[in-house]
Structure 1
Amino acid sequence: MTTLRPDLAIIAEHVTPAARILDVGCGDGELMAWLRDTRHVDARGIELDGTNVSAAVARGLSVVQGDADTDLANYPTDAFDYAILSQTLQTTRAPDKVLGELLRIGRRAFVSFPNFAYWRVRWSLAWGGRMPVTPALPVSWYATENIHQLTIDDFRAFVAERGITVENAWFLTGNRRTSAAGANLRAEHAVFLIRR
């Protein structure tokens, strides 16, 4: 479909044309630009890294520098059709609060994250005794931005405990989709579409 990263391609495929979106942790704006150009969405973004903000703005995108942990509170309730948090949840200081804010400001939210229960991660810990370095987790423990590692089953339990509705979920190993059965062991990444 596109040259987008696999989790972003799934999100892009399922965003309704002409929707209002907020991409939280939008990086250089790759997803936003694709959605603007192909789905004609009203795209806004928030990004912590100033270099990424500059790159996104250079693409003609409306992106502000900000922190998901503190700045989402400034957005009005139901301001967006979709709030998107791709590969960012595990880097936030208060992921539970960030998810609450996503579901407040967006009618629906896409959340993608690396699965720390993936079998290769487990293998690395069990047999090597060290934190894994994989294509999905490409840096050593001391250089990672990940501060709240989670698994697919952790996320499923989190949304169930809070009465959050999961509209859809996709599980990926590399760029291949994996079934929901056994995803906690077999999937490197997950993408969830959730709503209040």
Structure 2
Amino acid sequence: MTALRPDLAIIAANVRPGSRVLDVGCGDGALMAALRDERGCDARGLELDPVDVASAVGRGLSVIQGDADTDLADYPDASFDYAILSQTLQTTMRPHVVLDHLLRIGERAVVSFPNFAHWRVRVSLLWGGRMPVTRLLPVAWYETPNIHHVTIDDFRAYVRERGITVEQAWFLSGDQLTSAAAANFRAEHAVFLLRR
């Protein structure tokens, strides 16, 4: 596989070859390119940032500029095998609506996000009294696009309450996989494979 960010590598390795994929918040298209080139997927993208859209299109990818909060409603039901939302959930205005659309549009949804309950975040708040700046949360509170500070346990409770099935989940500490045991405390990042 092409060198991808660890969460994207997990996603790429777990998408069935030849699948139809919508990558929402696709950035510069790194995941889409890997899915196309190495898994034979028909990958499409939706991205808000025009610079990233131009970069992805420059790679020969099918990406349109759009907003997950408003534009997912335009996609027909069951039009993709996978709808992917990587490190974008916490930046959306209405994450519950976005998740509903992902599960309507795709047979499966893949969602990844930084865990705001990771021990380093807790320590930063406890001892320093300030919002943390870490490798996965690299900007100060006033510059961050993150508007919903979700934790792994918050997300688990949400999908359970909504009757959404978690087919698989992966948890990352640094760039390494870690066990599900105490993931809310130990994992910096989570990846969930979901279906209705």
The residue aligned with 2:38 is 38
Give the number of equivalent residue pairs: 196
The residue aligned with 2:195 is 195
SS in structure 2 at match of 1:78: coil
Offset at residue 174 of structure 1 (A): 1.3
For 2:133 and 2:46, the matched residues in 1 are separated by: 28
For 1:2 and 1:187, the matched residues in 2 are separated by: 24
Offset at residue 3 of structure 1 (A): 1.1
In the alignment, structure 1 residue 54 sits paired with structure 2 residue 60: no
The residue aligned with 1:111 is 111
The residue aligned with 2:122 is 122
Offset at residue 140 of structure 1 (A): 0.2
Name the aligned partner's letter for residue 28 of structure 2: D
The residue aligned with 2:170 is 170
The residue aligned with 1:100 is 100
The runs of 5 or more residues in structure 2 that have no matched partner are none
1:7-18 correspondence runs (5 A): 7-18=7-18
Offset at residue 110 of structure 1 (A): 0.5
The runs of 5 or more residues in structure 1 that have no matched partner are none
1:152-163 correspondence runs (5 A): 152-163=152-163
The residue aligned with 2:136 is 136
SS in structure 2 at match of 1:172: strand
What's the C-alpha RMSD, in Å, of the aligned pairs? Answer: 0.5
In the alignment, structure 1 residue 5 sits paired with structure 2 residue 39: no
SS in structure 1 at match of 2:143: coil
1:48-87 correspondence runs (5 A): 48-87=48-87
For 1:154 and 1:79, the matched residues in 2 are separated by: 29
Name the aligned partner's letter for residue 39 of structure 1: R
Calculate percent identity across the aligned residue pairs.
73
For 1:2 and 1:36, the matched residues in 2 are separated by: 11
For 1:109 and 1:31, the matched residues in 2 are separated by: 15
Q: If the length of structure 1 is used for normalisation, what is the TM-score? A: 0.99
Offset at residue 128 of structure 1 (A): 0.1
For 1:158 and 1:6, the matched residues in 2 are separated by: 24
For 2:98 and 2:24, the matched residues in 1 are separated by: 10
Offset at residue 2 of structure 1 (A): 3.7
- Provide Cα deviations, 1:131-152, integer angstroms capped at 9, x if missing partner: 0000010000000000001000
Runs of 4+ in 1 over 4 A off after TM superposition: none
Name the aligned partner's letter for residue 146 of structure 1: N
SS in structure 1 at match of 2:17: coil
For 2:180 and 2:116, the matched residues in 1 are separated by: 16
SS in structure 2 at match of 1:124: helix
SS in structure 1 at match of 2:16: coil
